Amino acid sequence: MASIQPQIPKLSKDNYENWCIQMKALFGSQDLWDIVSDGLDESTFERIAEATTCKQAWEILSTIFKGVDRVKKVRLQTFRAEFETSHMKEGETISDFFSRLLVTVNNLKRNGEKIEDVRVVEKVLRSLTIKFEHVVVTIEESKDLENLSIEELMGSLQVREQRMQKNAGSMLEHALESKLTLKNDPKQRGGRGTSNRARGRGRGYYPSQS
């Protein structure tokens, strides 16, 4: 099946504005606009140095960069797999998990993937550690995930994370205080000592036989 060659707009003295818009759209559709806006590197320029017309230069550039789409497809497969297999690690903070996941999301977008917030939100909620299970249930029941932004979800989870850390710290502090109180309680020490001595006397006393 023969490929369809793009129609090259012609520039005249009266149509610059329209020509500019059409050329930008044309170059953009072929993933070549970056070359126009950023310029050519030396190696690429050398390839079109012998072109005598813009059309020839265009065709050379188009041939050079035909592999871009294939490269993007390979990259997309890699980043999609990375996105789907990403999970929050034990001991990892919400902030660190989001940062790691959003790197992959941005890589997907840069390679042409259209990824909406709701897809990222749902991915996060099913990828948290088990300690966030009750939080996930609460969010799913109380929030409209279709309209929940990534930033809002991260903020909500960070608040819950801070509460859990505070509660865990309070429980640990209470446990240490209880242990210290028992250790320093003279009644507890005396009770154990008396009991041990009583058991000791019981084991060491044997009445004489008549």
In SS3 terms, 124-178 reads as HHCCCCHHHHHHHHHHHHHCCHHHCCHHHHHHHHHHHHHHHHHHHHHHHHHHHHH
Percent of the chain with pLDDT over 90: 40
Are the C-beta atoms of 79 and 113 separated by less than 8 Å? Answer: yes
pLDDT of residue 53: 82
Q: Check whether 34 has a pLDDT greater than 70.
A: no
Domain locations along the chain: 16-65, 69-169
Q: Which residue has the higher pLDDT, 124 or 24?
A: 124
Mean pLDDT across the stretch 76-84?
A: 95
Q: What is the DSSP letter of 89?
A: P
Give residue 57's pLDDT band: very low, low, confident or very high (50, 70, 90): confident
Q: Check whether 177 has a pLDDT greater than 50.
A: yes
Q: How large is the C-alpha radius of gyration of the chain?
A: 35
Q: Looking at 14-28, 60-74, 174-188, 189-203, which range is the least confident one?
A: 189-203
Q: Looking at 44-48, 75-79, 158-162, which range is the least confident one?
A: 44-48
Percent of the chain with pLDDT over 70: 65
pLDDT of residue 13: 65
pLDDT of residue 59: 79
Mean pLDDT across the stretch 185-195?
A: 54
Mean pLDDT across the stretch 101-117?
A: 92
For all residues of the chain together, what is the average pLDDT?
A: 78
Rounded Cα distance, 31 and 70, in Å: 12
